[in-house]
Structure 1
């Protein structure tokens, strides 16, 4: 595992392929952090599509998209699986956030969340509208995840800072 970006410093930029389920369509495109400036971004790194904890986590965030939108924040799920896997995962669970494919794990390495055996640690990075890292949580074991309430509370603090 590499070193994690430091709070108060610009978050590492990246562009990854991904897709967003909107109604019946899964819209594929590239997602770049620099292009999201002006809005807060929640980066949710997770080990894998269709695994028990990851499914619970992303379903929880998906059901809270209105709370994130009210704070002018986007949520992006990032894992090593490809966009085809992400489409199947999103369709199976009705996930309403972009799922990004970090197949080579370059972005996970830039954020210091690669791990032997599982590939990617469960981690959350809250990026302010200015592109600066404002809050993070990197799980050691990954059996739990940060709740919607915790994330919206942290985002409220960023918005009101």
Structure 2
């Protein structure tokens, strides 16, 4: 099994389908798109791998990141969240919780495996990778136990450190 990419190495490329909640309100629109790491805008990207839709820790994590999207945009960063659930599960979760960042579906676990965070029988380790505009990993957090996650402020500081 591969190990998580080290800081300073290339992030494994991938292409996944995902959903994005495109408008706030009682019945927000959902947009379904394909997301490819190597074909995104050349700006910092936070890849937040999470174990499951609508679970207590994942909900806190993704709501925190979603509530901070303006802050991430102000430092020129995007945030994508990745889990093994399908698009219908992601859509339900995004609508229920008002999550505005893209939720990508890694249903076969190939991307989690490429990032070295698969856990046989359990899914994946809660992890966040900061990838720069040239697809190099510049910061990472891989949890041994998925009960904690990097705070929004910690992620904003990691992105800000790229500019120095």
Q: TM-score, normalized by length of structure 1?
A: 0.96
Query: Which one is further off, 121-130 or 32-41?
Result: 32-41
The one of 51, 58, 61 aligned to 2:65 = 61
Q: What CA distance in whole angstroms lies between the structure 1 residues aligned with 2:99 and 2:55?
A: 14
**Among residues 24, 40, 44, which one is paired with 2:44 in the alignment?**
40
- The secondary structure found in structure 2 opposite 1:136 is strand
Partner of 2:12: 12
The root-mean-square deviation of aligned C-alpha atoms, in Å, is: 0.9
User: Could you say which residue in structure 2 is the equivalent of 1:21?
Assistant: 21
Is 94-103 or 110-119 further displaced after alignment? Answer: 110-119
Partner deviation per Cα, 1:34-79 (whole Å, 9 max, x = no partner): 1114111100000000100000000000000011001111100100
**What CA distance in whole angstroms lies between the structure 2 residues aligned with 1:130 and 1:2?**
22
1:126 aligns to 2:114 (yes or no): no
For residue 93 of structure 1, the aligned residue among 93, 97, 101 is 97
Partners of 1:31 and 1:22 in 2: CA distance: 16
Q: Which runs of 5+ in 2 are unaligned?
A: none
Moved >3 Å (runs of 4+)? none
Task: Indicate how the Cα distance of structure 1 residues 48 and 115 shifts in structure 2: closer, same or farther if over 3 A, else same.
Answer: same
Aligned length: 160
CA distance in 1 between counterparts of 2:58 and 2:31 reads 22
Question: Displacement of 1:2 after TM fit?
Answer: 2.9
Match of 2:75 in 1: 71
Which position in structure 2 is the counterpart of 1:145?
A: 149
TM-score, normalising length from structure 2?
0.95
Unaligned runs of 5+ in 1: none
